[in-house]
Structure 1
Amino acid sequence: MAYPLPMMLVAYEALIDFEDEEAPSCFDDFDDESLFSLFHLTRPCLMFIADSIRVRMKNVSPKNNQFSVDTLVMVTLNYYAHGISSASLLTKLGLSHTHCPAIISLVSGTISGMADKFVTFPETEEAKAIVASNINAVCGIPSVLGILASPHFRVRVSPYEKDDYRTFFSPLGYTAVVSQIICDSDGNILCVEKCEVGSTSEQEMWASSFKGKEVEEGFYGPYWLIAGKGYLQSKHVLTSVTDPSNDPEVRFNEAHAKILGIMWATLSCLMRRFKVLQQLGFAKKSCLDQKANIIRACCVLHNIAKKFSVPSLPVGSEPVYPGKQHSGTVEVSDEALSARQAVINKVFSAPLSSNENGEGSVSSMDKEDVK
């Protein structure tokens, strides 16, 4: 799902100028090192992104106006990369900070809308089999379509709006929004949806999401999603054993933790490349579409960057924020517990050989990212 452009942006469409295809690009004014410093992306990747956005914008905005698409893209991607707009870049582009909110909102909505092409969940039997095979090669758990999590992204909320403030306050001690993300074993994002206040639990997110309803209703067949302790074990969500009592359950939990670690590595990579996700700015409960657009847009750009083999940024100290866990008062059905036990019995009860224990590699992710 993609959010429509906010109605307020209609007034800003006059900013856009669709340049002739042979006109010089703003990107030509920078060398490759400067481009990576400004946008955390390489030149070929940036040009592909700009061309993709240009095609989308031709359908929604008039021609022959003030700013080129390349200019709009540069302003927005620079903001994503650093969480603030570079004064030197704005000066070079002949813009001021007053232009930025409208530009960023417009381009964010456009990139968010590209999720239908660049953030896709496996639906064909062949696609599902490939994803499940790759995950099995990493951890040894069969029939898994992805890794599920609901990370928190910090926001600022006015403490004077007490009702809003309380709902945004997460159990980890800060105000945040939470989104739902599914990735594969290579760190490609397969699904991103929802943007809720930080007090929303992971299980609530899943139960009310489009993807959650499809998966739990068996739309994708007899496959699992790996998930952390914030989710309830079900026929299609595979969580770890809370108190493992034997060796097979211990080995299952180790394999589960190994594949779940790829999600946290993916989110860490995402938040290092796009520092705006470390602080999304001021938010109101009644108006979360723009925050959702930025989160979704960064996921789109993450997948594009992986296709272009853009190097990850060095590992830093930025944390990845897990979602809120459920209260634990909801009982898990015996059927769901039996389904998990069947996996443990089938895969993890046999003695280990030298080639087992879920050994595998994640070719397109930095090994140091996988904790």
Structure 2
Amino acid sequence: MRRERIFRDRANFFEEDDQSLRCRFRLPRHCLVELCDALEPELTRQTNSCPLGGGGSHDSFILQNSSVGMRLAQGAAGDAWLIGDKGYAVATWLMTPLFTPETQQEREYNDCHVRTRAVVERAIGRLKVRWLCLDTAGGTLLYKPDKVCKITMACCALHNIAERHGVPLPEGLALPPPADMPVDPPIGAEANRPGLALRRQLIARF
């Protein structure tokens, strides 16, 4: 079994000598300084926070009650939709699959939904393979939420740079399988009548 990795706060690594920095990061000091300067605008950007129970609350509840969810409910997405799994409540801005598709059109809608969502799942999977600290297999980030946000943003920025330059993923690590869909719908999942009506209109196109 893989031993759980524990991440702790460390002293400022720029206080280390040049040889220690090169051994630890495989980069000279001036490259590290330039890299940190380039990433600073991304790491210090205003991010959305939602003090609504943290990890103990359902993702759907967090989304709907966050500032992001409120802006989307006010029409910020325009004519586009977010794609959510069965654990999310359908809304005019969030399309979810049907629990029990009965007609051919409903089955085709679900199939299209799954294929579209798989693109996002694969992208997130590649990110987690490159940075194991973002996956439960690599341990848990034992920091305050604000710091975890900065770590995640740094990983995303570095991952995008690596993807653009064709840096391969670490060898011997397989992409994680898509998360299983919950069996039971969240509370209020079918209560949004405008969202249900819009989903029926989309299904009618198939």
Verify same fold: TM over 0.5: yes
What's the C-alpha RMSD, in Å, of the aligned pairs? 3.9
- Greater RCO, CA 8 A, separation 6+: 2
Give the CA deviation at 1:54: 2.7
Equivalence for 1:329: 187
Give the CA deviation at 1:16: 8.6
Equivalence for 2:146: 289
User: What are the Cα deviations for residues 190-216 of structure 1, in whole angstroms up to 9, with x where unaligned?
Assistant: xx8558733221111211333222222
Q: Note if 1:54 corresponds to 2:37.
A: yes
User: What are the Cα deviations for residues 317-336 of structure 1, in whole angstroms up to 9, with x where unaligned?
Assistant: 75565798986331422221
Give the CA deviation at 1:302: 1.9
Equivalence for 1:343: 202
User: What are the Cα deviations for residues 50-97 of structure 1, in whole angstroms up to 9, with x where unaligned?
Assistant: 63423566xxxxxxxxxxxxxxxxxxxxxxxxxxxxxxxxxxxxxxxx
Query: Using the alignment, how far apart are the partners of 2:70 and 2:129 within structure 1?
Result: 31
Q: Note if 1:244 corresponds to 2:104.
A: no
1:212 to 69, 76, 100: 69
Query: Using the alignment, how far apart are the partners of 2:59 and 2:158 within structure 1?
Result: 24
1:230 and 1:324 in contact (8 A); partners too: yes
Question: What letter matches 2:195 in structure 1?
Answer: A
User: What are the Cα deviations for residues 198-244 of structure 1, in whole angstroms up to 9, with x where unaligned?
Assistant: 32211112113332222221023121111111111100101011111
1:248 and 1:345 in contact (8 A); partners too: yes
Instruction: Decide whether aligned partners of structure 1 residues 202 and 281 sit closer, same or farther in structure 2, where only a CA change above 3 A counts.
Output: closer
Instruction: Decide whether aligned partners of structure 1 residues 193 and 322 sit closer, same or farther in structure 2, where only a CA change above 3 A counts.
Output: farther
- Percent identity of paired positions between Structure 1 and Structure 2: 22
Decide which structure has greater strand share.
1
**Following superposition of structure 1 onto structure 2, how do residues 78-97 of structure 1 map, counting pairs within 5 Å?**
none
Equivalence for 1:157: none
Per the normalisation by structure 1, the TM-score is 0.42
**Following superposition of structure 1 onto structure 2, how do residues 183-202 of structure 1 map, counting pairs within 5 Å?**
194=49, 197-202=54-59
User: What are the Cα deviations for residues 228-281 of structure 1, in whole angstroms up to 9, with x where unaligned?
Assistant: 111111001010111111101101101100111122212211111001123124
SS of 2:91 mapped into structure 1: coil
Question: What letter matches 1:316 in structure 2?
Answer: A
Give the CA deviation at 1:282: 3.3
Equivalent residue pairs, number: 186
User: What are the Cα deviations for residues 178-197 of structure 1, in whole angstroms up to 9, with x where unaligned?
Assistant: xxxxxxxxxxxxxx855873
